[in-house]
């Protein structure tokens, strides 16, 4: 089953206007056949749900470089180590005027 979003629907109720976006619900077969089209829609902030059988569904969501950075287990471990050091008071304080040169900007 494919529900195609043709546009946004504007509803005016009690003087307030609401914008309702219709999501795309597609079969896994449909997704396999037209992956590029659906990924392009996700890149345009459309909500796409891939239905797999009767009881499973998946939402397609783009991720940013920041998401990839923080998903790296080594990065997470370094952040947790730094937080632990901060809790123990093992910190270095820089004067405001030295921050730019420390960061290389």
Task: Note the pLDDT tens digit of each residue in 58-87.
Answer: 999 888 887 888 888 898 899 999 999 999
- What mean pLDDT value characterizes the chain? 81
Characterize the bridge pairing of strands 8-13 and 24-27. unpaired
Query: Shortest CA distance to 18 belongs to which of 10, 6, 26?
Result: 10
* Arithmetic mean of pLDDT, 92-104: 85
Q: What is the mean pLDDT of residues 26-46?
A: 91
> For residues 44-67, b (16+ Cβ closer than 10 Å) or e, as one string?
eeeebebbeeeeeeeebeeeeeee
* Domains, the chain, with CATH or none: 8-60 (3.40.1620.10), 65-103 (no CATH)
pTM score, two decimals? 0.52
Mean pLDDT score, 19-38: 85
């Amino acid at each position: 089953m494919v529900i195609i979003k043709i546009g946004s629907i504007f509803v005016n109720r009690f003087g307030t206007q609401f914008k309702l976006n219709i999501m795309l619900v597609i079969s896994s077969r449909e997704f396999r056949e037209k992956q590029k089209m659906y990924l392009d829609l996700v890149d345009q902030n459309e909500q796409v749900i891939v239905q797999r059988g009767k009881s499973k569904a998946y939402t397609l969501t783009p991720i940013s470089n920041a998401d990839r950075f923080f998903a790296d287990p080594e990065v997470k471990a370094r952040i947790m180590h730094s937080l632990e050091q901060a809790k123990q008071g093992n910190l270095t304080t820089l004067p405001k005027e030295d921050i730019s040169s420390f960061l290389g900007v």
